[in-house]
């Protein structure tokens, strides 16, 4: 738990955002490589999940990259503890296009999703890009921006 809190603090400090006190919404869906993910299982395993919803568009890249960079910075010294999920906003972009967009905008190590099962509506208002940081066995939303 101590490591999880440190991960979250590093990400939040890097992003300069504030904490939110709400609970995540569970989902089970396949990523663009066909791997199944169940959010609560991953959080219960002690992982921190950073989800960024994008259009994809140029401004989305500008504002999503700091979250991606914070995850990659931490992952260097703490592998497999924090994960970056790049999610199409309304699941209307193909996986190939979303993955290509992430690669061309310096986010090549993202786990990409084009699935309506991961809904930004579960985290309040829509916005582009929208980033949430999730962690802990209580499935806490630590950041919702």
What is the predicted pLDDT for the residue at 64? 93
Angle between helix 2-15 and helix 58-77 axes, rounded to 10 deg: 140
Whether pLDDT at 16 is above 50 = no
pLDDT at 20: 44
Nearest-angstrom CA–CA distance, 42 and 137: 9
| CA pair distance 142, 144, nearest whole angstrom | 7
For 78-137, the pLDDT digits (tens) are 899 999 999 999 999 999 999 999 999 999 999 999 999 999 999 887 777 899 999 999
Q: What pLDDT, on the 0 to 100 scale, is given for residue 17?
A: 47
- For domain 2-144, the CATH superfamily is Glutaredoxin (3.40.30.10)
Residue 129, preceding bond cis, omega within 30 degrees?
yes
Confidence at residue 19, expressed as pLDDT on a 0 to 100 scale: 43
Tokens found for residue 68: 């991606």
């Amino acid at each position: 738990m101590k490591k999880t809190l440190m991960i979250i603090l590093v990400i939040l400090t890097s992003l300069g955002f504030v904490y939110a006190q709400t609970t995540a919404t569970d989902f089970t869906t396949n990523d663009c490589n066909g791997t199944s993910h169940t959010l609560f299982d991953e959080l219960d395993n002690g992982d921190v999940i950073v989800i960024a919803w994008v259009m994809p568009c140029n401004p989305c890249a500008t504002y999503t990259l700091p979250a991606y960079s914070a995850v990659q910075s931490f992952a260097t010294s703490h592998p497999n503890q924090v994960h970056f999920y790049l999610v199409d906003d309304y699941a209307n972009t193909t996986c190939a296009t979303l993955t290509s967009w992430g690669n061309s905008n310096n986010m090549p190590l993202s786990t990409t999703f084009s699935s309506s099962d991961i809904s930004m509506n579960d985290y309040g208002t829509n916005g582009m890009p929208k980033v949430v940081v999730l962690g802990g066995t209580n499935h806490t939303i630590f950041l919702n921006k």
